[in-house]
Amino acid sequence: MAAHARRRAQQQAFQPIRLPSGDPAPVMHQHADDTSIHAQSPSDAQVILDTTVDLHCAATGSKLQRSKSQGFGLGSFSHLEGPDAATGVTFVAQDASVKHLGVPLSRQPEAAATALYSAILRKVEIRIARWSGFRLSLLGRAYVGNRLSLLGRAYVANVPFPVGHWPRHPVLVASPPTDMLRRL
C-alpha cells in the first residue's frame, strides 16, 4: 500500500507534505494495523483514500471505516475539526491529540506530553496499589519498587519528544525507587 501511495505521489496525483528542506515527506507509514497518511490537504488525502487504500481493501477483502479514522490538520488546515464530508475522516479538536503507534501527535506538545506521562503515572500508581496489599519485607518492597520504577522509565526512554518539551514528572523521571517503597 505504501509503495502504491509513493508511486501516486511521483505521478503527481496528489501533493505530499513538504519537509523544511523542500523534499517531499513520506506519504504513508504503516505498522501492523496502524497506518498514517500524510497529504497536503484533505482533497489530497481523499485521492490516497480513494485510490491506494480502496485498492488495498479490494485486494485483501478488508474494509476501512473512515468514520473511525482520525485526521489532524496543520498549518492552513489547522482549523479543521469534526467529520470531513469529502473524506469521511473525523478531524480532532484543536486541543486534542492523535495517537500513532502509542505516541501522541498534537498541536500542543506540552499538553500531550503531560497527558501521556499522567497516564503512565496512573498505571504505575495502580501497580503500586496492587502490591501494597501484600505484606512484603523491606527487600521485597525494594525489589517491587525498583521494577515498577524501571518499567516506567524504560517506557519513557523509548518515547520521542520534541526538543524543549521533555516532561518533568518527578516520580517517573527523577525520583528514586525509595519513593515507591513508602507506598508499598
Residues 29-64: tens digit of each pLDDT: 887 777 888 888 889 999 999 999 999 999 999 888
Whether the pLDDT of residue 173 is over 50: the answer is no
Q: What DSSP element (H or E) covers 83? A: strand 82-83
Question: Could you state, in order of their start, the residue ranges of all structural domains in the chain?
Answer: 2-100, 108-183
- Residue 28, strand partner residues: 37
**Is residue 174 very low, low, confident or very high in pLDDT (cuts 50, 70, 90)?**
very low
| Mean of pLDDT values over 105-109 | 81
Q: State residue 36's pLDDT score.
A: 85
Cell matching residue 39: 497529504
| Cα–Cα distance for residue pair 59/67, rounded to 1 Å | 21
**Is residue 101 very low, low, confident or very high in pLDDT (cuts 50, 70, 90)?**
confident
**Is residue 121 very low, low, confident or very high in pLDDT (cuts 50, 70, 90)?**
confident
To the nearest whole number, what is the mean pLDDT of the chain?
78
Buried-state track 10-47, b at ≥16 Cβ within 10 A, e below 16: eeeebebeeeeeeebeebbeeeeeebbbbbbbbebbbb
- Residue 173, strand partner residues: none
- Residue 82, strand partner residues: 91
| Cα–Cα distance for residue pair 139/12, rounded to 1 Å | 64
